[in-house]
């Protein structure tokens, strides 16, 4: 379970995320939508401990990401938009390394082959990551995220650069994780994907949450009955206020 | 051809203007010119004078034979220099050429013709630049060679003939370089085989000729034998282009015009063959240049950043580096934070494997040599510790440079791992100091075995130097996390300076304490114990500080 309470992230005098709160329960997929520069990636990076929140709390399975990092992160998986992988490790070594960090090397020994096969990485297992294509790296990044059975999954634009078969596999994986009881947060520009995949969406604009709910809730909120997510999204984000400037 | 000439001349003129546009660039230009001045004019400022007859070398051989040998040796040297770029003509292309120039209707043949001409002119400039600075010191020596001849003024004539020979020789090498470069870089698999075969054959010829020269020079008892070596048929055939150029050059002196004509025809023939083959294969040039341009460009950027891991990854992408066989590291299965060390050893094994042989080897040599050569009064104990300290510094610095950049670049992957930022930094520091620790252990143990009387200093080193490695690794880590922007050249330059300052600040207390304890009369091994402890305390402090900075490090900023 993921709980974000009053999250604020400031870069010097610029507030990238302003007072963001939401909760994702077990077995739920939530989409984080917003135009470029809305603060989606900053929000995800705060949740997974890459960035320190300026204010607010982030709880993963009840553990605070700032004060109880190791426990909080042990249930978390993050798939960044541009997979940041060790290029001089082989595919197998990379997965093995992640499994060792999470103390699940025995699980990898048992299930590794199956995981590699599922992501079409089996024939590449002894090749260096540097030689993989962008799509294969994305698959490896997802495989790394799923290796320790995390129950909070964060995806930053997971379908960018993945071929149709890969995209289908990623969507199936996300659905499987939801069915297994995981809390999933997906940051995406692809509104049709969000509409079909997510149980709920949060719309950010200029660092502020402008709307949250199911598509029906958003339609009602924007007085656009029968409209698609795209129209609702454009209406809500265009009405957002300019970004707040932090006092020096 | 006109747009290419325009592009070249504008790029050249703008490049010169740019180098004068700011004090920093101007300083670079002055340093560059100054370097050559100092390198080639050791007696800078003094007027050269013709040496008197008493100072002249006294040859036991006819002067013409000596001049012929010197000219031939000079052309052999130029042959070796020009051969270095034989297969890599495409390195001169930029990504902008690929994106802007290649899609235009400029024909590949025109492109090859223009590049041949441009590279030829550039090749001519290099020795001219060298001659400009070397002229005075070597000019007098050159003229003195001709004093014993009936007509000493022939020095100028031979010099001009040498210039003409070089003009032909340079063109031959540029043309052959293009012809061979395009041929061997064609996309089909077999051309890679031909390239390897030709490369190894040329290398083999070079090794045979070099071995022959070394053998003859070592066994030569007189200057006459050395001069005679230049007439050896093996060398004359092996360096046939240099032979042609020498024959052409020596004609005004020897009067062997038939031989000179053969030399001239040989050079002109090589030029013709090179140009014809280059133009016939021009169709391949765009594809080859496009591949090379992106490769060279990314390698250059990575080199500027000091990103050694990135450079190796680039090589892996092009298939030049393979994963290799599984080793003992794969049988080690650590859990938790030690997995970071496991990962680092794998990365080092692929990016810096040679250092694990090279540095302990140098440390061993440095440890053993003073003991074998020195007199009993030489303070070889302190020398042993100081040389091993130097090796610790070099080994830590080398691994830290690329390793910490890799750590910052993988922040999206490392920070979500189930560790505190301080824990990640601790294991990173530990793994960066491993090579230095191994290196100094090898050196110190070897030093102790060769010279057992050194044991007090060697034991002091065994206690103290591993902690110095940890301390240095933590200081380098702190500095890179303090200035983490690997793209920013200002930060890169500043980081180098701050590294020095950091070493002085963080290592200063330990050096002071060690000196004080030795001054108080404590044996080195005993003095090393508190110093080692102090090193560890300071290293832990620096690591904690780096951990805090790493926690707030934002890759997007």
* Average predicted confidence (pLDDT) for chain B: 80
CB atoms within 10 A of CB B536: 15
Q: And the tokens for B435? A: 């090579």
Q: A2-11 and A55-60 as β-strands: parallel, antiparallel, unpaired?
A: antiparallel
What's the full length of chain B, in residues?
Answer: 557
CB pair distance less than 8 Å for B418 and A101: yes
- Chain A residues lying within 8 Å of B310, measured CB to CB: 87
Output b/e per residue, B117-134; b: 16+ Cβ within 10 A: bbbbeebbeebeeeeebe
Beta partners for A29?
Answer: A184
Instruction: Among B339, B340, B409, select the one facing A84 at the smallest CB separation.
Output: B409
Task: Assess whether pLDDT exceeds 80 at residue B117.
Answer: yes
**C-alpha closest to that of B235 among B451, B102, B68, B455:** B68
CB pair distance less than 8 Å for B342 and A100: yes
CB proximity list for B333: less than 8 A, separation 6 or greater: A100, A105
Q: Does A13 touch chain B (CB under 8 A)?
A: no
CB pair distance less than 8 Å for B554 and A51: yes
**What is d(CA B471, CA B477) in angstroms, rounded to the nearest whole number?**
10
CA distance A162 to chain B (A): 19
Instruction: Among B337, B410, B417, select the one facing A84 at the smallest CB separation.
Output: B410
A 102-141: CB under 8 A from B: 102-103, 105, 126-128, 130-131
**C-alpha closest to that of B350 among B319, B324, B318, B314:** B324
Q: What is the ipTM of this complex?
A: 0.74
CB pair distance less than 8 Å for B416 and A50: yes
SS (H, E, C) B113-133: HHHHHHHHHHHHHHHHHHHHH
Task: Assess whether pLDDT exceeds 70 at residue A107.
Answer: yes
Chain A interface mutation, best of B418, B484, B553, highest count of A Cβ atoms under 10 Å: B418
Q: Are B112 and B278 in contact (CB under 8 A)?
A: yes
pLDDT value of position B45:
41
Q: Where are the domains of chain A?
A: 1-75+151-156+183-248, 79-149
**C-alpha closest to that of B359 among B387, B380, B378:** B387
pLDDT value of position B49:
45
Task: Assess whether pLDDT exceeds 70 at residue B346.
Answer: yes
CA distances from B401 to B346, B499, B524 (A): 17, 11, 32
- Chain B residues lying within 8 Å of A146, measured CB to CB: none
**C-alpha closest to that of B140 among B33, B57, B75:** B57
Q: Are A131 and A140 in contact (CB under 8 A)?
A: no
Output b/e per residue, B445-482; b: 16+ Cβ within 10 A: bbbbebbeebbbbbbbbbbbbbbbbbbbbbbbbbbbbb
CB pair distance less than 8 Å for A127 and B323: yes
Q: Are B450 and B367 in contact (CB under 8 A)?
A: yes
pLDDT value of position B132:
61
Task: Report residue B372's pLDDT band, with 50, 70 and 90 as the boundaries.
Answer: low
- Chain A residues lying within 8 Å of B330, measured CB to CB: 93
Which DSSP category does A245 fall into?
B
- Chain A residues lying within 8 Å of B337, measured CB to CB: 101
Rounded mean pLDDT, B195-221: 83
Q: And the tokens for A55? A: 């204010």
Q: How many CB pairs under 8 A join A and B?
A: 113
pLDDT-wise least confident of A93-102, A143-152, B17-26, B37-46: B37-46
Rounded mean pLDDT, B7-23: 66
Backbone angles phi, psi at B33, to 5 degrees: -65, -45
Q: And the tokens for B524? A: 């080195």
Beta partners for A24?
Answer: A2
CB pair distance less than 8 Å for B309 and A103: no
Chain A interface mutation, best of B310, B351, B414, B416, highest count of A Cβ atoms under 10 Å: B416
pLDDT value of position B52:
47
- Chain A residues lying within 8 Å of B314, measured CB to CB: 130
Instruction: Among B337, B340, B418, select the one facing A74 at the smallest CB separation.
Output: B418
SS (H, E, C) A113-174: HHHHHHCCCHHHCCCEHHHCCHHHHHHHHHHHHHCCCCCEEEEECCCCCCCHHHHHHHHHHH
Q: Does A85 touch chain B (CB under 8 A)?
A: yes
Chain B interface mutation, best of A88, A155, A158, highest count of B Cβ atoms under 10 Å: A88
Q: Are A174 and A153 in contact (CB under 8 A)?
A: yes
CB pair distance less than 8 Å for A11 and B554: yes
pLDDT value of position B31:
58
Task: Report residue B155's pLDDT band, with 50, 70 and 90 as the boundaries.
Answer: low
Tell me, rounded to whole angstroms, the distance of Cα A8 from its chain centroid. Answer: 18
CB pair distance less than 8 Å for B417 and A102: yes
Task: Report residue B77's pLDDT band, with 50, 70 and 90 as the boundaries.
Answer: confident
Which DSSP category does B309 fall into?
H
- Chain A residues lying within 8 Å of B556, measured CB to CB: 41-42, 45
- CATH class held by domain A1-75+151-156+183-248: alpha beta
* Biggest distance spanned by C-alpha atoms of chain A: 55
Tokens 């050269």: give the residue: B48
- Chain A residues lying within 8 Å of B352, measured CB to CB: none
CB atoms within 10 A of CB A25: 13
Which run of H or E residues covers position A195? Answer: helix A191-197
CA distance A194 to chain B (A): 24
CA distances from A189 to A152, A234, B539 (A): 21, 12, 45
Q: Are B535 and B467 in contact (CB under 8 A)?
A: yes
CA distance B126 to chain A (A): 38
**What is d(CA B56, CA B47) in angstroms, rounded to the nearest whole number?**
18
Task: Assess whether pLDDT exceeds 90 at residue B149.
Answer: no
Backbone angles phi, psi at B364, to 5 degrees: -65, -45
CB pair distance less than 8 Å for A48 and B415: yes
Rounded mean pLDDT, A155-182: 84
CA distance B404 to chain A (A): 13
Burial of B232 (0-12, 13-18, 19+ CB in 10 A): middle
CA distance B554 to chain A (A): 6
Rounded mean pLDDT, B352-357: 84
Q: A63-64 and A76-79 as β-strands: parallel, antiparallel, unpaired?
A: unpaired
Q: What is the pLDDT of residues B274-321, one digit of tens each?
A: 999 988 888 888 877 777 776 766 677 777 667 778 888 888 877 777
Q: What is the pLDDT of residues A127-168, one digit of tens each?
A: 888 888 888 888 888 888 888 888 899 998 888 777 787 788
A 173-202: CB under 8 A from B: none
Q: What is the pLDDT of residues A188-213, one digit of tens each?
A: 888 888 888 899 999 998 888 888 88
Residue B85's Cβ-side half-sphere holds a number of Cα atoms within 13 Å equal to 16
User: A207's torsion region: left (phi>0), alpha (psi -120 to 50) or beta?
Assistant: left
- Chain A residues lying within 8 Å of B554, measured CB to CB: 11, 45, 50-51
pLDDT value of position B54:
45
Q: And the tokens for B273? A: 């063959």
Backbone angles phi, psi at A136, to 5 degrees: -65, -35
**What is d(CA A42, CA A39) in angstroms, rounded to the nearest whole number?**
5
CA distances from B411 to A38, A151, A188, B400 (A): 22, 22, 21, 16
CA distances from B64 to A63, B53, B150, B165, B345 (A): 90, 18, 11, 18, 61
**What is d(CA B96, CA A224) in angstroms, rounded to the nearest whole number?**
50
Instruction: Among A41, A52, A89, select the one facing B551 at the smallest CB separation.
Output: A52
**What is d(CA B230, CA B238) in angstroms, rounded to the nearest whole number?**
12
Task: Assess whether pLDDT exceeds 70 at residue A98.
Answer: yes
Helices B154-184 and B285-305: crossing angle, nearest 10°? 100
Q: Does A66 touch chain B (CB under 8 A)?
A: no
CA distances from B158 to B68, B145, B154, B249 (A): 10, 12, 6, 6
CB pair distance less than 8 Å for B413 and A74: no
């Amino acid at each position: 379970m993921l709980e974000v309470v009053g999250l604020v992230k400031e870069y010097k005098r610029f507030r990238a995320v302003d007072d963001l709160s939401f909760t994702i329960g077990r077995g739920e997929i939530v989409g984080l939508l917003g135009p470029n520069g809305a603060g989606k990636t900053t929000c995800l990076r705060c949740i997974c401990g890459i960035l320190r929140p300026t204010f607010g709390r982030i709880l993963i399975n009840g553990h605070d990401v700032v004060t109880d990092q190791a426990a909080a992160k042990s249930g978390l998986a993050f798939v960044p938009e541009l997979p940041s992988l060790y290029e001089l490790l082989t595919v197998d070594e990379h997965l093995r390394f992640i499994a060792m960090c999470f103390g699940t090397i025995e699980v990898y020994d048992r299930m590794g082959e199956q995981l590699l096969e599922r992501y079409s990485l089996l024939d590449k297992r002894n090749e260096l990551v540097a030689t993989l294509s962008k799509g294969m790296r994305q698959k490896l990044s997802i495989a790394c995220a799923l290796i320790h059975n995390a129950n909070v999954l964060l995806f930053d634009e997971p379908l960018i650069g993945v071929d149709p078969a890969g995209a289908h596999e990623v969507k199936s994986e996300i659905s499987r994780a939801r069915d297994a009881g995981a809390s999933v947060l997906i940051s995406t520009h692809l509104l049709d994907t969000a509409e079909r995949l997510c149980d709920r969406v949060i719309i950010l604009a200029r660092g502020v949450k402008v709307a949250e709910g199911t598509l029906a809730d958003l339609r009602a909120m924007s007085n656009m009955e029968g409209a698609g997510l795209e129209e609702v999204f454009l209406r809500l984000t265009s009405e957002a206020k300019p970004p707040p400037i932090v006092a020096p | 051809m006109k747009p290419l000439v325009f592009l070249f001349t504008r790029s050249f003129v703008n490049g010169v203007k740019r180098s004068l546009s700011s004090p920093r660039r101007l300083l670079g230009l002055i340093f560059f010119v100054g370097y050559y001045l100092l390198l080639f004019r050791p007696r800078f400022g003094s007027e050269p004078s013709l040496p008197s007859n008493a100072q002249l070398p006294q040859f036991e051989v006819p002067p013409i034979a000596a001049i012929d040998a010197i000219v031939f040796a000079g052309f052999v040297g130029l042959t070796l220099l020009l051969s270095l770029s034989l297969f890599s003509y495409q390195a001169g292309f930029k990504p902008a050429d690929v994106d802007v120039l290649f899609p235009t209707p400029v024909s590949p043949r025109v492109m090859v013709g223009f590049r041949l001409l441009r590279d030829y002119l550039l090749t001519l400039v290099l020795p001219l630049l060298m001659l400009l600075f070397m002229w005075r010191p070597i000019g007098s020596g050159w003229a003195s060679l001709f004093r014993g001849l009936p007509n000493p003024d022939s020095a100028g004539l031979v010099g001009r003939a040498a210039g003409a020979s070089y003009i032909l020789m340079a063109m031959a090498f540029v043309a052959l370089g293009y012809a061979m470069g395009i041929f061997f870089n064609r996309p089909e698999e077999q051309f890679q085989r031909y390239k390897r075969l030709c490369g190894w054959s040329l290398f083999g010829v070079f090794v045979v000729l070099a071995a022959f020269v070394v053998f003859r020079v070592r066994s030569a008892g007189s200057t006459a034998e050395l001069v005679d070596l230049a007439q050896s048929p093996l060398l004359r055939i092996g360096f046939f282009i240099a032979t042609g150029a020498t024959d052409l050059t020596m004609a005004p002196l020897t009067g062997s015009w038939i031989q000179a004509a053969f030399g001239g025809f040989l050079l002109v023939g090589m030029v013709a063959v090179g140009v014809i083959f280059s133009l016939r294969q021009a169709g391949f040039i765009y594809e080859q240049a496009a591949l090379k341009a992106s490769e060279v460009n990314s390698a250059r950027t990575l080199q500027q950043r000091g990103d050694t891991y990135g450079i190796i990854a680039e090589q892996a992408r092009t298939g030049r580096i393979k994963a290799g066989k599984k080793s003992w590291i794969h049988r080690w299965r650590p859990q938790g934070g030690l997995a970071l060390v496991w990962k680092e050893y794998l990365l080092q094994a692929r990016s810096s494997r040679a250092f694990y042989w090279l540095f302990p080897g140098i440390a061993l040599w440095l440890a053993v040599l003073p003991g074998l050569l020195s007199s009993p009064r030489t303070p070889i104990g302190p020398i042993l510790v100081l040389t091993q300290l130097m090796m610790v510094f070099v080994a830590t610095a080398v691994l830290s440079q690329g390793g910490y950049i890799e750590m910052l670049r993988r922040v999206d992957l490392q920070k979500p791992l189930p560790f505190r930022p301080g824990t990640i930094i601790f294991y990173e520091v530990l793994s960066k100091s491993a090579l230095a620790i191994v290196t100094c252990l090898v050196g110190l143990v070897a030093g102790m075995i060769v010279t057992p009387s050194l044991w007090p200093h060697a034991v002091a080193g065994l206690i103290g130097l591993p902690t110095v490695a940890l301390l240095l690794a933590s200081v380098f880590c702190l500095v890179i996390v303090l200035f983490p922007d690997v793209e920013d050249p200002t930060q890169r330059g500043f980081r180098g300076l701050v590294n020095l300052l950091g070493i002085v600040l963080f290592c200063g207390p330990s050096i002071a304490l060690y000196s004080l304890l030795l001054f108080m009369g404590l044996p080195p091994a005993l003095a090393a114990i508190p110093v080692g402890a102090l090193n560890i305390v300071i290293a832990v402090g620096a690591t904690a500080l780096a951990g805090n900075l790493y926690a707030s490090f934002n890759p997007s900023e």
